[in-house]
């Protein structure tokens, strides 16, 4: 930035130096009750309960959700996913993306305000703050006053609750990756391996830092969703908005006065909407990237409107079209498109899960010095079969081959595979020299569970001859 | 590393660090024209009526940057990052590798150790040991002997009861540990091409194949003079020197007349590489048990 010498500047052009790196202002949120605050609590409770209970639940003798990284198997409810099921994960990510698009087009950033872990945990931490240190004014006063007994005990009580919440969070989270009973037991009897202990402490620290100190900074500077959500908005997207037509000009007024005659709008400029905001913005400035659509300013404004005897909804969940034209077009091409894609993706996902067969077969031809062998009047190829039993029962797999020639299986003996086992079995396939007419031909292997012929898998490879 | 490249790295790295630090510090404050308000200015970019605020970055961001500087300087002192500087931590990539190898050995020693004290014929009956043996076989032996141990031309079939050097557990262990060098000399220079054909017919005769009786009779004399030393008077071979039995129908290189003639004419020099350096004792013990188990099954 070029700088003119001070003498050339006009008197109002005062040069001010600002730091490029600013200390963030601590936000003291005012506690508010109202519809959206209650909604936040009631969406948060089942989410938290689900998160906390899921690793403890047992289905068919195994945790309801366990990402078993050493064994490379993901147990989710009744399903077990193997590395070769990575496709389902891709499907799931595509579904999540489209779900996010659809929801964003329809109701804006409700994910942020009501269900995002950053928000939910921040909400819990603010609750601890409120319980231990009192409401906004008390907290400001407490922070300003010198350290004394009251400040120390209030602060340490708050910190204890924070750390306790963080510990529960990190133990639960790590519990998704290793059996939680061993983990919690080991943690409290100080008998935990270094690696799980490291992860527990890391997530404890991360939760504590995030919900205790990062809070809205995360939404403002780090979260990628905040960056691109704006492109999904349109004029009919439901979002928290200030009705500036009704509210302006804002200003204080005496009770019972005919304020409209003085040219002031419904906004009394009490700044409650700013005080309750967890990201410290003024919603009256319009749509902002920081706004997480949590609706607390709506609650705050409504309570003020009630006091003033004005109609509610000066700040409300509404759309740009509703403010400007009084009408919202809900079914618009963009929404229909997203919803349609979402529907297709979910159907495909459910279908592919439903037709999933819990056996995998891989056949690999020997890459030996010579790939085929002549024994008497036959040509033989050796294959290594990998049969993965992905079912939750023991099965015996029978082998069939099929191809261009009358192939004969030699040296394959069906052996039982217990659940989750990968059998590696060599098998020799022979064909009569007189029958074989081409040097390379296709050969199809098929395994079938003896008890349940539905469980079958095929694999195609090649047979090499002279 | 030559002095030049060492200096190059040192200068480049430190210049980078100093430069970045200078940029960070020199830009900490910036002059802003305007009123004495805390309101952020715009950068002056405008598109479609959308303006970009010129907000300052949060201070933790700055401190995080400082922290990475401190980390990188500490890292460069402890680890070898500055040219030939070895670092005070004494870290080397070779040392790291050795450490991992030792760890792995310790882990495997526990797994294999259970079986290396058991006699091989006992291990050959243990399903868990055989599973491990199969994996070792697949990784180390299958490339020549086939995934099922059924062999390939020039590479013995391990699933039959026909052994070149003996099929006892001790012999199998010895073969895997020290390897084998077969030495069938080339005979064409000694006995001449005509006798090569005759001997081949004789060999076919004693193995029960189709042959020319007249040639075989001549061949028998040549055989008696030259081949019995290794293959024995009756052609049944000698496991002490690895001379194959010629009277069965098992052929290492193939039993067609042309192949047999080639063997006699040019000789054969099969090599089974010694595994003791590659696999160590406990793995060889398991492999020997696995191979022994293959011959017990005796499939094709």
Q: Are B159 and B183 in contact (CB under 8 A)?
A: no
B59–A21: do the CB atoms touch at under 8 Å?
yes
Nearest alpha-carbon partner for A341 in A95, A104, A91, A88: A95
The alpha carbon of residue B38 is apart from the nearest alpha carbon of chain A, in Å, by 9
H helices of A175-270, in order, are 180-188, 194-209, 216-217, 224-228, 244-247
Alpha-carbon gap, residue A119 to A39, rounded angstroms:
13
pLDDT at A435 over 90: no
Nearest alpha-carbon partner for A252 in A312, A298, A306, A308: A308
- Nearest residue in chain B measured CA to CA from A379: B152
Secondary structure (3-state) at A71: coil
- pLDDT for the residue B1: 77
Q: Quick one: tokens of B259?
A: 């192949």
- Nearest residue in chain B measured CA to CA from A2: B31
Q: Quick one: tokens of B200?
A: 């081949």
- Nearest residue in chain A measured CA to CA from B141: A368
What distances in angstroms separate CA B1 from CA A184, A218, B83, one per listed residue? 51, 45, 8
A410–B300: do the CB atoms touch at under 8 Å?
yes
- pLDDT for the residue B299: 42
- What's the 3-state SS for A346-362? HHHHHHHHHCCCCEEEE
- What backbone phi and psi angles, to 5 degrees, belong to A365? -75, 145
Nearest alpha-carbon partner for A106 in A446, A334, A420: A334
Q: What stretches in chain B show pLDDT beneath 50? A: 36, 299-300
Task: State the average pLDDT for chain A.
Answer: 88
Query: How many Cα atoms sit within 13 Å of B138 on the Cβ side?
Result: 18
- pLDDT for the residue B72: 94
Secondary structure (3-state) at A121: helix
- pLDDT for the residue A13: 57
What's the average model confidence in pLDDT over A244-258?
Answer: 82
A428–B28: do the CB atoms touch at under 8 Å?
no
Q: Is A91 on the interface with B (CB under 8 A)?
A: no
Q: Quick one: tokens of A131?
A: 């319980």
At residue A94 the predicted structure's pLDDT band, cuts being 50, 70 and 90, is very high
- pLDDT for the residue A6: 45
Residue B144 burial (C-beta neighbours within 10 Å; 0-12, 13-18, 19+): middle
DSSP state, B271?
Answer: E
Alpha-carbon gap, residue A411 to B148, rounded angstroms:
8
- pLDDT for the residue B300: 38
Using only the alpha carbons of chain B, give its radius of gyration: 37
Handedness of CA B23, B29, B34, B37 (dihedral sign): positive
Strands of A416-417's sheet, edge to edge? A416-417, A395-403, A440-449, A456-464
Q: What is the pLDDT of residues A323-362, one digit of tens each?
A: 888 888 888 999 999 999 999 999 999 998 888 888 889 9
- pLDDT for the residue B278: 87
Handedness of CA B207, B213, B216, B217 (dihedral sign): positive
Long-range contacts of B153-158 (CB under 8 A, 24+ apart): B153/A369, B153/A370, B153/A373, B153/A374, B153/B252, B153/B253, B153/B254, B154/A369, B154/B252, B154/B253, B154/B268, B154/B270, B155/A368, B155/A369, B155/B252, B155/B270, B156/B252, B157/B250, B158/B291, B158/B294, B158/B295
At residue A2 the predicted structure's pLDDT band, cuts being 50, 70 and 90, is very low
What are residue A343's DSSP bridge partners? none
What's the average model confidence in pLDDT over A230-248?
Answer: 89
Q: Quick one: tokens of B253?
A: 């290189």
pTM of the model: 0.75
A96 contacts: CB under 8 Å, gap ≥ 6? none
Alpha-carbon gap, residue A214 to B64, rounded angstroms:
13
Place of tokens 């989710």: A76
Query: In chain B, which residues touch A (CB < 8 A)?
Result: 27-36, 56-62, 134-135, 138, 142-144, 146-155, 254, 299-300
Maximum Cα interatomic distance, chain A, rounded to a whole number of Å: 112
At residue A9 the predicted structure's pLDDT band, cuts being 50, 70 and 90, is very low
Strand pairing category for A21-22 and B57-58: parallel
- pLDDT for the residue B162: 87
Q: A408 vs A326, which has greater pLDDT?
A: A408
Q: Which residues of A touch B135 (CB under 8 A)?
A: 424
Instruction: Choose the mutation target among B49, B147, B160, B291 for the interface with A, i.e. most A CBs under 10 Å.
Output: B147
- pLDDT for the residue A197: 93
Alpha-carbon gap, residue A44 to A176, rounded angstroms:
20
B57–A20: do the CB atoms touch at under 8 Å?
yes
Cis preceding-peptide flag for A249 (omega within 30 of 0): yes
Alpha-carbon gap, residue B180 to B158, rounded angstroms:
15
pLDDT at A10 over 80: no
B146–A375: do the CB atoms touch at under 8 Å?
no
The alpha carbon of residue B135 is apart from the nearest alpha carbon of chain A, in Å, by 9
Q: Are B200 and B288 in contact (CB under 8 A)?
A: no
Residue A110 burial (C-beta neighbours within 10 Å; 0-12, 13-18, 19+): buried
Nearest alpha-carbon partner for A416 in A401, A396, A400, A399: A396
Nearest-5° Cα angle at B274, B273 to B279:
115
Alpha-carbon gap, residue A237 to A319, rounded angstroms:
5
Q: What is the pLDDT of residues B39-51, one digit of tens each?
A: 556 777 888 887 8
Alpha-carbon gap, residue A266 to A152, rounded angstroms:
43
Instruction: Choose the mutation target among B142, B149, B150 for the interface with A, i.e. most A CBs under 10 Å.
Output: B150
A24–B27: do the CB atoms touch at under 8 Å?
no
A24–B299: do the CB atoms touch at under 8 Å?
no
Does the interface predicted TM-score (ipTM) exceed 0.85?
A: no
pLDDT at A48 over 70: yes
Strand pairing category for A395-403 and A440-449: antiparallel
Q: Which residues of B touch A369 (CB under 8 A)?
A: 143-144, 152-155
- pLDDT for the residue A79: 82
What's the average model confidence in pLDDT over A155-171?
Answer: 96
């Amino acid at each position: 930035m070029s700088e003119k010498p001070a003498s050339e500047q006009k008197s109002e052009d005062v040069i001010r130096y600002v730091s490029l790196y600013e200390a963030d202002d601590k936000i003291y949120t005012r506690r508010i009750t109202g519809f959206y605050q209650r909604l936040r609590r009631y969406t948060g409770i089942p989410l938290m309960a689900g998160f906390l209970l899921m690793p403890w639940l047992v289905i068919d003798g195994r945790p309801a959700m366990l990402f078993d990284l050493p064994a490379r198997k993901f147990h989710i409810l009744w399903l077990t996913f193997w590395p070769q099921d990575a496709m389902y994960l891709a499907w799931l990510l595509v579904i999540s993306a489209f779900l996010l698009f659809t929801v964003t087009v329809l109701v804006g950033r409700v994910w942020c305000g009501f269900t995002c872990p950053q928000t939910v945990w921040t909400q819990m931490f603010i609750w601890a703050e409120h319980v231990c240190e009192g409401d906004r004014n008390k907290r400001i006063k407490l922070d300003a006053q010198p350290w004394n007994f009251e400040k120390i005990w209030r602060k340490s009580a708050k910190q204890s609750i924070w750390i306790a919440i963080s510990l529960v969070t990190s133990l639960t989270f790590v519990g998704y990756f290793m059996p939680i009973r061993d983990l919690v037991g080991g943690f409290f009897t100080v008998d935990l391996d270094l690696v799980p202990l490291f992860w527990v402490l890391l997530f404890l620290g991360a939760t504590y830092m995030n919900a205790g100190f990062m809070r809205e900074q995360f939404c403002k500077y780090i979260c990628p969703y905040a960056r691109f959500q704006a492109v999904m908005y349109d004029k009919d997207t439901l979002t928290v908005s200030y009705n500036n037509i009704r509210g302006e000009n804002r200003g204080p007024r005496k009770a019972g006065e005919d304020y409209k005659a003085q040219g002031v709008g419904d906004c009394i400029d009490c700044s409650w909407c700013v005080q309750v905001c967890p990201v410290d913005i003024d919603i009256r400035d319009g749509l902002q990237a920081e706004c997480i659509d949590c609706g607390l300013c709506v609650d705050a404004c409504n309570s003020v409107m009630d006091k003033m005897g004005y109609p509610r909804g000066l700040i409300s969940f509404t759309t740009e079209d509703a403010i400007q034209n009084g009408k919202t077009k809900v079914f618009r091409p963009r929404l229909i498109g997203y919803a349609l894609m979402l529907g297709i993706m979910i159907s495909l996902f459910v279908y592919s899960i439903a037709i999933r067969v819990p056996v995998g077969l891989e056949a690999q031809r020997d890459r030996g010095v010579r790939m085929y062998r002549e024994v008497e009047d036959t040509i033989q190829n050796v294959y290594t079969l990998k049969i993965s039993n992905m079912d939750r029962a023991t099965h015996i797999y029978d082998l069939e081959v099929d191809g261009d020639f009358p192939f004969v299986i030699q040296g394959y003996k069906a052996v039982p595979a217990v659940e989750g086992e990968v059998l590696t079995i060599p098998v020799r396939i022979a064909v009569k020299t007189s029958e074989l007419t081409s040097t390379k031909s296709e050969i199809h292997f098929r395994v079938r569970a003896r008890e349940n012929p539905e469980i079958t898998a095929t694999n195609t490879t090649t047979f090499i001859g002279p | 590393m030559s002095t030049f490249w060492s200096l190059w790295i040192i200068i480049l790295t430190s210049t980078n660090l100093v430069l970045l630090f200078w940029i960070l510090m020199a830009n900490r404050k910036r002059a802003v024209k305007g009123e004495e308000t805390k309101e952020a200015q715009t950068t002056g970019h405008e598109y479609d009526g959308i303006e970009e605020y010129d907000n300052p970055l949060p201070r933790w961001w700055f401190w995080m940057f400082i922290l990475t500087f401190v980390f990188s300087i500490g890292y460069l002192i402890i680890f070898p990052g500055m040219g030939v500087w070895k670092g005070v931590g004494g870290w080397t990539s070779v040392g790291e590798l050795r450490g991992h190898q030792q760890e792995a050995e310790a882990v495997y020693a526990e797994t294999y150790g259970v079986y290396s004290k058991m006699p091989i014929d006992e291990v050959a009956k243990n399903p868990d040991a055989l599973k491990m043996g199969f994996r070792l076989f697949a990784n180390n032996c299958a490339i020549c002997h086939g995934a099922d141990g059924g062999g390939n031309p020039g590479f013995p079939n391990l699933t039959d009861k026909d052994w070149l050097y003996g099929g006892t557990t001790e012999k199998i262990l010895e073969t895997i540990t020290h390897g084998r060098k077969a030495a069938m000399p080339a005979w064409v220079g000694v006995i001449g091409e005509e006798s090569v054909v005759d001997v081949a017919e004789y060999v076919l005769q004693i193995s029960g194949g189709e042959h020319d009786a007249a040639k075989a009779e001549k061949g028998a004399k040549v055989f008696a003079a030259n081949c019995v030393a290794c293959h024995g008077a009756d052609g049944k071979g000698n496991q002490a020197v690895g001379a194959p039995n010629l009277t069965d129908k098992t052929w290492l290189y193939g039993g067609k007349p042309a192949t047999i003639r080639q063997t006699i004419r040019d000789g054969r020099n099969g090599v089974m590489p010694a595994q003791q350096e590659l696999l160590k004792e406990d793995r060889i013990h398991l492999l020997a048990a696995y191979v022994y188990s293959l011959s017990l099954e005796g499939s094709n």
